[in-house]
Amino acid sequence: MTTVMAAQERWPSTLNAIGTMAAVRGVTVSADLAGIVADIQFESGQSVREGDVLVVLDTRQEQAQMAAAEAQRVLARLNFNRMQELLDQKVISKAEYDSATAESRQAEAHVTEIRAAIERKTIRAPFTGILGIRQVNKGQYLAGGNAVVPLQSLNPIYVNFGVPQQAIAQVHVGRDVRVTTENLANAAFIARITAIDSVVDETTRNVQVQATLANPQGALRPGMFVQTQMALGAEQAVIALPASAISFAPYGDSVFIVSDLRDDKGHAYRGVRQQFVKLGPSRGDQVAVISGVTARDEVVTSGLFKLRNGAAVQINNAVKPGNSAAPKPENS
């Protein structure tokens, strides 16, 4: 097994949190009015711009109603013009003229109403974004409110994360946040805090924070799990150990420290003692140990699964696990 000599380092004080990506604008586009799907003008996953036509519903009935309404409008307008001439000649009463005026306006309004209904049967993208998977087929009957396709605006994009209430005084709008995700191992994004919730969650005692970042390539998607890191300024003294040296467990994290021990007969030997530790942030291969290990302690970094408290050890440091704050993968 291998070991490393613990040494004290000064790390920037950071606040780490788990975050979730969220769309700045995201909706499920739905039918406004009921109707039969006459035409579909998009593909699943397609990029669209605001106002692009997605689906056209059958409007043959409305078109027939429009023709009838247009004819009625023309007739009402002709009748109004005649009534105006007769009123000027004092042949009809003002009441008859007012009635003709009302009928003409009503006919105009009816045409406008039908035209609006026809327009509402053309379903358009409400904003620029990327479509999800199509949920309708040509010839399908859609009731009002039925889903057509999800639409998400991906650039910019939000990252939402929780901050412990004791740290909220150090968080403010405009502060930068580093965002990473396991899906994009070599990529890091810089977001900027744009909103801080006004209440503390009674269950977690966290305050929700929202940051915004540019996402021109669409690499980050709503719902994606990410890690966030925010530098708080002041440095803190830590013992930096390889992550491989930590034995993670539900009841507490621990390390094995090599020490001079004695067996039941009083014979001296080199063995290990298990020491519980309090961990801080991580950087690359390293994890910060806040307490439990002191400088110059010799800590086991591999073969932990074989060890128990008091076990004798043989050390071979010919090949050691990674222990870099900024590891770089080797070319293969």
pLDDT tens string, the chain, 332 residues long: the values are: 888 888 888 877 778 889 999 999 989 999 988 999 999 999 998 989 999 999 999 888 888 988 888 898 888 888 888 888 887 787 778 888 888 889 888 888 988 888 888 888 889 999 998 999 999 999 999 898 899 999 998 889 999 999 888 888 888 898 899 998 887 777 888 999 999 999 998 888 899 999 999 988 888 889 889 999 888 777 778 888 888 888 888 888 998 888 888 888 888 888 888 889 888 877 777 888 888 888 888 888 888 888 888 888 888 877 666 555 555 555 43
Q: Which two tokens stand for residue 320?
A: 């050691």
Q: What is the distance between the alpha carbons of residues 66 and 73, in angstroms, rounded to a whole number?
A: 10
Question: Is 184 a domain residue?
Answer: yes
Q: Are residues 168 and 210 in the same domain?
A: yes
| Last-in-domain residue among 195, 216, 234 | 234
Query: Exposed (0-12), middle (13-18) or buried (19+): which is 179, by Cβ within 10 Å?
Result: buried
Question: Is 170 a domain residue?
Answer: yes
What is the number of structural domains in the chain? Answer: 4
pTM, full prediction: 0.62
Q: Which residues, at least 6 apart from 249, have a Cβ–Cβ distance to it below 8 Å?
A: none
Question: Is 330 a domain residue?
Answer: no
**Is residue 123 within 8 Å of residue 34, measured between CB atoms?**
no
Residue 90 belongs to domain with CATH number: 1.10.287.470
Q: What is the distance between the alpha carbons of residues 206 and 162, in angstroms, rounded to a whole number?
A: 5
Q: What angle do CA 177, 178, 180 make, to 5 degrees?
A: 140
Q: What is the distance between the alpha carbons of residues 43 and 25, in angstroms, rounded to a whole number?
A: 20
Question: Is 319 a domain residue?
Answer: no
Question: Is 328 a domain residue?
Answer: no
Its domain, for residue 197, covers 15-24+152-234
Query: Exposed (0-12), middle (13-18) or buried (19+): which is 235, by Cβ within 10 Å?
Result: exposed
Residue 128 belongs to domain with CATH number: 2.40.50.100
